[in-house]
Amino acid sequence: MTTVLIIDDSPSEMAKFRDILTRNNFKILEANNGEQGCLMAAEHLPDVILMDVVMPEMNGFQATRRITRGKTTAHIPVVMISTKNQETDRVWGKRQGAKEYMTKPVVESELINTIRTVTE
């Protein structure tokens, strides 16, 4: 079973992701900020991380950079999912190490296909 770490500070977004992933038989871990997400990534080594961008203290770009450049976490694919939909955001996200960049609201089939693609 694929383990997905969701890092998002919005309870409503977290609930949406939880519903989609549960329906599609994924194991879910949840972190509500970038710092907690980085710690959980290192502790649990999930198969993939869904990363929000706009979060207090440590944003998703910073957390993605830390995870994708960490010795024990660099192999974990990060999919950034944000309301920020400018091309510069996509480019910056990929420069921080994200494998994919999606915009909210996500379409369930696209999210599941993206997770499967980056974990193959």
CATH number of the CATH domain containing 27: 3.40.50.2300
Max distance between CA atoms of the chain, in angstroms, equals 34
Question: Do residues 49 and 79 touch, judged by C-beta distance below 8 A?
Answer: yes
For tokens 């500070």, what's the residue? 9
Q: How many domains does the chain have?
A: 1
pLDDT at 87: 93
For tokens 């944003």, what's the residue? 59
CA distance 4 to 9: 16
CA distance 79 to 117: 11
Residue 38 domain boundaries: 3-119
pLDDT 10s per residue in the chain (120 long)? 999 999 999 999 999 999 999 999 999 999 999 999 999 999 999 999 999 999 988 999 999 999 999 999 999 999 999 998 899 999 999 999 999 999 999 999 999 999 999 998
Question: Do residues 60 and 7 touch, judged by C-beta distance below 8 A?
Answer: yes
pLDDT at 40: 98
